[in-house]
Amino acid sequence: MQLDGKTAMVTGAASGIGAAVVRTFARAGARAITLVDVNEQQAELVAEEVSSECDCQLFVSTTDVSQGDQVQQMVDETIRQFGEISILVNSAGIAPAVHWPDVTEENWRQVMETNLHGAFLCLLTVAPHMRQKQWGRIINISSVGAFQGSMTAHPAYGVSKAGILALTKSAAKEFAADGILVNAISPGSIETPLARQNFTEQERQAYAEAALLKRHGTADELADSVLFLASDRSTYITGATLHVNGGSLLV
Ligand SMILES: NC(=O)c1ccc[n+]([C@@H]2O[C@H](COP(=O)([O-])OP(=O)(O)OC[C@H]3O[C@@H](n4cnc5c(N)ncnc54)[C@H](O)[C@@H]3O)[C@@H](O)[C@H]2O)c1
């Protein structure tokens, strides 16, 4: 499952799943990767670590994916530097531990704009470049919350992640004729800073127990499933959702 010569853009690249995807893609031979995140310092650290072990061009872009003008600038700069974008991974996301009594229009919008609007904006801006090349892979990170509703996170979290699945299907239909495959991954409980910040120790233990495999997944395990969908080993899958949850939700 090599990515030789491929160029990728990974959002949420400073941490957790996004950072693991960057490492995995670089080891798989990607030619160039744009690391997109609001956390510039952390993204630079990931880039430094990756560049010390792989021969891969890296561009760190401090971009808020919910802002269309920033996304446009980041995509333009990537095209200027790398000439194309063959793979887009939408991993940027937030899952604030806000419950119904504290839900406001403002915090609802923040979750929806980061998780759903952000993925939409990146897809909208990158797809024309893939269309030009008649090849592309788009992988959107959803969640079990899309199927179960939010558990500990803000109610908008599950809504945004269900929206990601419909966005994935709509885009898969639109771009199939252009050789662009669009899929979603629905992770269960994955050991990342997001999971550690938003779940209590007790909740985390319960999630591990709920999985048939009796443990959390790792960001590297999740990144391997992203690599599969991004690679030439995946040629007949589009509009699909890959469940990577250790058996915690059987769909
Ligand atoms: N960890 C889990 O158990 C789990 C489970 C299901 C789904 N997910 C999803 O996986 C994705 C990655 O989560 P993670 O666990 O790696 O979280 P994480 O917090 O470790 O990483 C998320 C990254 O997104 C960045 N980000 C947040 N808002 C942004 C914005 N507006 N623009 C650009 N970057 C932004 C953050 O700075 C952070 O670096 C998220 O979409 C999350 O909802 C995670």
d(CA 240, CA 105): 31
Q: Is the pLDDT of residue 12 over 70?
A: yes
Q: Is the pLDDT of residue 1 over 80?
A: no
Give, using CA atoms, the residue closest to atom 7 of ligand 1: 143
pLDDT tens per residue, range 113-130: 999 999 999 999 999 999
Count the Cβ atoms, other than its own, within 10 Å of residue 133: 14
b/e per residue 150-188 (b: at least 16 CB within 10 A)? bbbbbbbbbbbbbbbbebbbebbeebeebebbbbbbbbb
CA distances from 98 to 94, 148, 154, 163, 190 (A): 11, 17, 5, 19, 20
Cβ pair 173, 189 in contact under 8 A: no
Q: What global pTM score does this model have?
A: 0.98
Q: Which atom of ligand 1 is nearest to the CA of 113?
A: 31
Which residue out of 120, 157, 175, 207 is catalytically annotated?
157
Q: 114: Cβ below 6 Å to ligand 1?
A: yes
Q: Nearest Cα to 125, choosing from 167, 200, 74?
A: 74
Q: How many Å lie between the centroid of ligand 1 and the Cα of residue 84?
A: 25
Share of the chain above pLDDT 70, in %: 100
Q: What is the mean pLDDT of the segment spanning 143-164? A: 96
Class of domain 7-244: alpha beta
Predicted local confidence at residue 152, as pLDDT: 87
Predicted local confidence at residue 245, as pLDDT: 98
Q: 118: Cβ below 6 Å to ligand 1?
A: yes
Q: What is the mean pLDDT of the segment spanning 124-147? A: 98
Per the prediction, the chain carries an average pLDDT of 97
Give, using CA atoms, the residue closest to atom 2 of ligand 1: 190
Q: How confident is the model at residue 151 (pLDDT cuts 50, 70, 90)?
A: confident
Q: 94: Cβ below 6 Å to ligand 1?
A: yes
Share of the chain above pLDDT 90, in %: 95
Q: What is the mean pLDDT of the segment spanning 84-88? A: 98
Rg for the chain, CA atoms, rounded: 17
CA 2, 169, 150, 154 torsion-angle sign: positive
C-alpha 39, offset from chain centre: 15
Out of 56-65, 100-109, 138-147, 195-204, least confident range: 195-204
157 tagged catalytic: yes
b/e per residue 201-233 (b: at least 16 CB within 10 A)? eeebeebbebbeeeebbebebbbbbbbbbbbee
* Domain boundaries along the sequence of the chain: 7-244
pLDDT tens per residue, range 28-67: 999 999 999 999 999 999 999 999 999 999 999 999 999 9
